[in-house]
Amino acid sequence: MPKLKEYVKEHGYWVGGDYDKDTEASWEATFKKVADDYKMDPETLPNNYMQYYYFPQYEVANADPKHTRTDEIREHRQKIVFSECERIVKAGTAKDNIWDISGLHSEYIVDIIHAIAYNTHEKFLANCANNGAISNMDPDSIVEVPALLGADGIQPMATGEAGRFQRGLMMEQQTCEKLVVDAYVEHSYQKMLQAFALNKTVPDASVAKKILDDMLPVNAPYWPELK
């Protein structure tokens, strides 16, 4: 672990070379930015999504609104997936396809299904109601913690208290999300605005209002009318 942390401190999660030869530009930037994320909390190895919470203005300044992540996916991953699917259809077989079935997420879900089906009570990370797993978070918070999985469901494991800094980040996000739910149920523009303003990726309330007002007409088919 000390060696990993020393590497991450300097390079983030960027490996380079043959390992990263097919990595898209935005992911290269994301992996390298982890070095800055790490400096905010050097006791842990950070999730790479923390860049959006620690450095939202940097992310906006370095984003290209005319070439988004969606464009990257269309140009790279989508093209690879669709072309391989077309090849398989023409060949009439999936034999010798380009995909490695031992990927992290595919293995993970199979292992979870096995644990539930055979009641093994193996330990996995799971999103579940807190109920004291993190002792200084609300019981109804949804948290990702180690849990035992079996035929009788998910049994979260106690992990003690979250650190003050980490708890502050989590409580801010949790409160934002609960306000979104309240706003949806109550058709409340005010609570939705409060939720947007509270979100750490939004720099101030005026920006929150602009984002919300821009999103309202676009999401009219999916959102209730907010008053």
Q: Residue 17 carries which DSSP code? A: G
**Separation CA 87–CA 93 (nearest Å):** 9
**pLDDT(151) > 80:** yes
Distances from the Cα of 184 to the Cα of 8, 79, 83, 193, angstroms: 40, 37, 40, 11
**pLDDT(104) > 90:** no
**pLDDT(147) > 70:** yes
Work out the average pLDDT over 158-162.
95
pLDDT digits (tens, 9 = 90+) for 62-89: 999 999 989 999 998 899 999 999 999 9
**Separation CA 130–CA 139 (nearest Å):** 5
**Separation CA 123–CA 125 (nearest Å):** 7
**pLDDT(103) > 80:** no
User: Residue 77: its pLDDT value, please?
Assistant: 87
In this structure, the chain runs to a length of: 227
| 42 and 9 Cβ atoms separated by less than 8 Å | yes
pLDDT digits (tens, 9 = 90+) for 26-69: 999 999 999 999 999 999 999 999 999 999 999 999 999 999 98
User: Residue 53: its pLDDT value, please?
Assistant: 93
Q: Report strand pairing: 122-129 vs 153-156.
A: unpaired
**pLDDT(205) > 70:** yes
User: Residue 107: its pLDDT value, please?
Assistant: 84
Share of the chain above pLDDT 70, in %: 99
For residue 115, give both structure tokens.
């644990």
Work out the average pLDDT over 180-192.
98
Return the closest-CA partner of residue 145 out of 153, 136, 155: 155
**pLDDT(115) > 90:** yes
Please tell me whether residue 128 adopts helix, strand or coil conformation.
strand
Local confidence band at 101 (pLDDT 50, 70, 90 cut-offs): low
User: Residue 102: its pLDDT value, please?
Assistant: 65
Local confidence band at 213 (pLDDT 50, 70, 90 cut-offs): very high
Return the closest-CA partner of residue 53 out of 204, 211, 202: 202
Strand partners, 124: 147
User: Residue 201: its pLDDT value, please?
Assistant: 92
| pTM for the full predicted model | 0.81
